[in-house]
Each structure stands twice: as structure tokens, then as C-alpha cells.
Amino acid sequence: MSSGSPSSPSAGDGSTSPSNGNPVPRPREKIPGYIFGDVIGTGAYAKVRRCYSEKFKSNVAVKIVSKKSAPKDYLSKFLPREIQCIHKLRHKNIVRVLEILETERSMYIVMQEAEKGDLLDFINANHRKIAEKDAKIYFQQILEAVEHCHIKNVVHRDLKCENILFDKDMVIKLSDFGFARTINPENCQLKTHCGSLAYAAPEIVKGKDYDGRISDVWSLGVVLFAMVNGKLPFNDTSVKNLLTAINKGITFQSNVSEACRDIITAMLMTDTGRRAKIKDLLKHAWFDPDASSPYRSCSTPSPREMDVARDEKHFIKTPNPSPASTPRGTPEHQQPLVMNSDVSDSSTPGPYHTANESSGEFSGSDQMST
């Protein structure tokens, strides 16, 4: 989301008549106290507009959900869950919801604006990677935001670079709780498979029941990998190929430190019992340059255990490429980082299979089910 004042409402929004090419007026959203401006984000069932709020005396972001176009199960299940979750959360690194309004046609979720855009744009603007010294600062904020969610018994289920925003001071703001839900910490196995394919934990991709807190950690591992490597670790166009890529393991850029490789590996364990917990990640040696070993804090296996795990294919292998194997200036370094791969919500992984081979963008059925 870029900064700037919202544009004044107009009679139409630029669409044309098929008969004479003249603009066809369309009604603009209108609620008292808000001046609606440009669309700054779109989703399957909602759009986000920059607005000026007379009440808050500032620009805000307003998520607008049409009651007429959104599916009934989204309006009856997922939207109420989102509202329930955001009411429970209040943290410096989570987008703050200012108020929620409802009309006959729409729901309006009024949020603070994230003026500096999202993490994906930031990675692309920084030559497709972020220096580790900066990545540490941002990723610690991301971890603290997700930890707050889990403490409040909320799982996000759609952690990805596009949903991690920056405010005007470059402070992280976690956003988009459209797939979030509350959990019972004593029995938190979930059945609904949702999120974005390239970020989805293998247990979700395989259609298994899962602990949302543990699957969130996998997505965090994908986010950090993208931050320091400038690409996704597993970005493929089908579930089968994705799982094959996961089994093959990840390859780091040669300049990624051992401690950074270790914390990412700890998050990208396919064995959910060995995947790191957020409380351990926050104490990992990557955040402490004076630590003698990157293995000291996180629940990461010893080198011997790692060798055994490789043989048993229980975790993501992390080969260390030589500088010659990943030269700067190769096409993968030059191309923009593409991370649009939304997975539809379903009780089986079937909808994941629809893909646009040419663009690399995934699309799934809009149908959602438990």
C-alpha cells in the first residue's frame, strides 16, 4: 500500500458501455464519515480501499466485503471467524482494526493503513533479497506477532510475504486474517485446508489433519527463506511436484550464514514433532551473534541426528552450494519474485491442482468447506 491521500469519489469508475464506449456510472461505496479513494488491494471476496476517516483524522484502509457476491459459507463461517480473531488481537506488529461497520449490502473492516507496502514488494525492491542484519529485525517482529496470535489461541493459516506489511516507520504489521480461526489449545487438530500453496506445510498439502500453530511455523520458514534468498524454497505448479521438491530439500544462496540456515531448517522440518516452536525460535543463536553454536537454543537435532534424518527423509535437507553453483546474475536472480499461489479452502487437497502453468499463479475452487 503506497502512501497518499485518497482520490475524491466520482460518478463512475471508468467502465465503458459495450454499445457506445461511454462511461457507465456505478455506485461508489458510501458510509458517513469516510471519503473513499483508490483500490489498494483485492481478494477473492473483498477489496481494500484507501479512505480518509473524518473520525480518526487520517487515511485508513477499509476492507469491503460484498454480501451479494461473497459465498454464503464465507459470510456465515469465515468472515465471522475473521472478526472474532481480530477482536482478540492487539499487538504492535499486527494491523490494528479501528472499527467494523455493516450496511445492507456490505461489511466494512476499517484498519490502520500500512503506508510502505508489503514484504514481497520490499524484497523485490531490494534486488530480490534482504541483508541478514535487516532480516533479523523484521523477522523477529513477525515471530512476535505470530506468537501473540498463538498465545491468544488464534492461528493465522495464511502467512506469506503479501500479508506482512510495513507502516510509515517500516515497522512490521501482520495482516489479512481471512483464514484465521480460534483453536482449543487442548485439542487443536484442524481439518480445513487453506492458505497459499507455496507456503503451505506438507501436512496441509497432503490433506491431513493438522495443528495450525505448527503449520504456521512452516509458513514462517518459507517467509524467512524468501527474505534472505530472494526466492521461494518450493514454488511449483502442482501438489505432486511441490511434494517432490520438498522431499528433495532446499538449497541456500552461498552468502546465507550457518545460523540463518539452521533457523530456517528448524522451521522446515517435515516431521511436525521436530519442527521448532516459536518460543525457541526467538531464542535462536541467529538473533545472538555472540552465541558459540547455532544449535544451542532451538530444538534442532545434532549433526549426527541430522545425518540419520536425511537417510530417513524426516526433514528438509540443506546442501551448501558453492559460490559457483549459484552465481549472481543468473535468470533466477534477475526475475521478480512471484508469490501469488492461493489455495482454496477445502476438506481435501483436490482444488490445489488447478494452475496456470505460464504465469506460475495458482487458482483453486472458490468453494470452501469444513
**pLDDT, mean of residues 282-297:** 68
342-346 vs 193-196, strand pairing mode: antiparallel
- Among 166-170, 281-285, 295-299, 360-364, where is mean pLDDT lowest? 360-364
pLDDT number for residue 365: 27
Read off the pLDDT of residues 78-101 as tens digits, 9 standing for 90 and up: 899 999 999 999 999 999 999 999
The pair phi, psi for residue 119, each rounded to 5°, is -65, -35
- Among 2-6, 218-222, 246-250, where is mean pLDDT lowest? 2-6
Q: How many CB atoms lie within 10 A of CB 129?
A: 20
State the pLDDT confidence band at 289, using cuts at 50, 70 and 90.
low
Pairwise CA distance, residues 341 & 338, whole Å: 9
- Among 7-21, 65-79, 113-127, 252-266, where is mean pLDDT lowest? 7-21
CA distances from 232 to 14, 115, 288, 332 (A): 37, 25, 25, 11
pLDDT number for residue 9: 39
Q: How far apart are the first and last CA of the chain?
A: 32
Active-site residue list: 158
Q: Is the separation of the CB atoms in 26 and 10 below 8 Å?
A: no
Read off the pLDDT of residues 135-147 as tens digits, 9 standing for 90 and up: 999 999 999 999 9
Domains of the chain from N-terminus onward:
12-19+26-112 (3.30.200.20), 119-353 (1.10.510.10)
Q: Is the separation of the CB atoms in 1 and 47 below 8 Å?
A: no
Pairwise CA distance, residues 76 & 202, whole Å: 28
**pLDDT, mean of residues 217-240:** 92
State the pLDDT confidence band at 324, using cuts at 50, 70 and 90.
very low
pLDDT number for residue 127: 78
Half-sphere exposure at residue 242, Cβ-oriented, CA atoms within 13 angstroms: 26
Q: Is the separation of the CB atoms in 36 and 22 below 8 Å?
A: no
Read off the pLDDT of residues 10-53 as tens digits, 9 standing for 90 and up: 333 444 444 455 544 445 667 899 999 999 988 778 999 999 99
The candidate with the shortest Cα–Cα distance to 91, out of 150, 158, 149, is 149
3-state secondary structure of 51: strand
pLDDT number for residue 235: 73
Q: Is the separation of the CB atoms in 270 and 315 below 8 Å?
A: yes
pLDDT number for residue 20: 52
State the pLDDT confidence band at 304, using cuts at 50, 70 and 90.
very low
| DSSP character string of 97-154 | EEEEEE-SSEEEEEEE--TT-BHHHHHHHTTT---HHHHHHHHHHHHHHHHHHHHTTE
Pairwise CA distance, residues 215 & 155, whole Å: 9
The candidate with the shortest Cα–Cα distance to 145, out of 136, 135, 155, is 155
pLDDT number for residue 224: 98
363: left (phi over 0), alpha (psi -120 to 50) or beta: beta
Is 90 exceeded by the pLDDT of residue 230? yes
Pairwise CA distance, residues 68 & 83, whole Å: 19
Is 70 exceeded by the pLDDT of residue 351? no
Read off the pLDDT of residues 173-218 as tens digits, 9 standing for 90 and up: 999 998 999 999 888 899 888 889 999 999 999 999 999 999 999 9
Give ∠ CA 60-66-70 in degrees, rounded to 5.
130
Is 70 exceeded by the pLDDT of residue 348? no
58-66 vs 106-112, strand pairing mode: antiparallel
Q: What is the DSSP letter of 44?
A: S
pLDDT number for residue 301: 41
Is 50 exceeded by the pLDDT of residue 343? no
More confident residue, 226 or 307: 226
Read off the pLDDT of residues 234-267 as tens digits, 9 standing for 90 and up: 977 789 999 999 999 999 999 999 999 999 999 9
**pLDDT, mean of residues 260-278:** 97
Which residues, at least 6 apart from 254, have a Cβ–Cβ distance to it below 8 Å?
Answer: 320, 321, 322, 323, 325, 326
State the pLDDT confidence band at 290, using cuts at 50, 70 and 90.
low
Task: Report CA 37 to chain centroid distance, whole Å.
Answer: 25
pLDDT number for residue 323: 33
Q: Is the dihedral of CA 303, 307, 312, 313 positive or negative?
A: positive
State the pLDDT confidence band at 114, using cuts at 50, 70 and 90.
very high
Mean pLDDT of the chain: 77
pLDDT number for residue 21: 54
279 sits in which H/E element = helix 278-281
pLDDT number for residue 353: 25
Q: Is the dihedral of CA 160, 316, 275, 354 positive or negative?
A: positive
